[in-house]
Amino acid sequence: MIGTIVNTATIVIGSLLGLLIKGGIPKRFDEMLMKALGLSVLFVGIEGSLKTTDTLLLIISLVIGALIGEGVDIDKRLNELGQYIEKQFKKSGKGGNIAEGFVSASLLFCVGSMAIVGAIQSGLEGNHTMLYIKSMLDGITSIIYTSTMGIGVIFSAVPVFLYQGFIALSSSFLGTVLDTTQIANIGGIGSVLIIGLGLNILGITKIKVGNLLPAVFIPMIYYIVRSFF
């Protein structure tokens, strides 16, 4: 939960700074910061992927996960969910500055692969690095959003805490069932997805990382089923 708590805190701090910095962060600084964080994400992904001891399981999980994810088109569904929630706020007449800032920031911070993979690694391995990097990204974004959308952005810290906290706690339960090697192999798959995120942030690729999310759960299911035999 430490990673989630830090993430929540940076959103609050970033939002408060955004209220003070009305003009937001100059675009050239914003772009350079994003590139620096993109490289950091890429490094973390490469470092984590090297810890896996079962390359075959990693490949099979990615292939099966990609087939499932692309079939369901998880990435598209996540975007549609965000658009639906935003429309509901506008229909109900709650589309003011506070609601707009809250909804837009909540969707950006929660509906994404980084939140899910980071929370899983945090709970399963006790590795909060991904969430720390996400915290920096969210902190910078919250400054920009608050300076343009207002105080509503600060309230997005609540769904981030609940959403990522739930995933982290659920994953920590699995950590009591699996051994260290199995956890490392699952983390390795998550790290490959993080490499994809890093490449996307740098603008090198446009990988639909959301469609690869099922790959993280394939080895979990495999190890749990195998434990009964």
Taking only the tens place, the pLDDT of each residue in 68-98 is: 999 988 878 777 776 776 676 666 554 456 6
Report pLDDT for 91: 61
Report pLDDT for 19: 84
What are the extents of the domains in the chain? Answer: 2-226
Query: Whole-angstrom Cα distance, residue 197 to residue 90?
Result: 31
Report pLDDT for 26: 74
Query: Whole-angstrom Cα distance, residue 223 to residue 229?
Result: 10
Report pLDDT for 90: 61
Report pLDDT for 92: 56
Show Cβ contacts of residue 152 under 8 Å, excluding neighbours closer than 6 positions.
97, 98, 99, 100, 101, 102, 103, 105
Digit-coded pLDDT (tens) for 55-65: 999 999 999 99
Report pLDDT for 82: 64
Query: Whole-angstrom Cα distance, residue 217 to residue 3?
Result: 21
Full-model pTM: 0.72
Cα-to-chain-centroid distance, residue 201 = 13
Query: Whole-angstrom Cα distance, residue 51 to residue 46?
Result: 9
Query: Whole-angstrom Cα distance, residue 37 to residue 141?
Result: 12
Report pLDDT for 58: 92
The parts of the chain modelled with pLDDT lower than 50 are: 94-95
The 3-state DSSP class for residue 128 equals coil
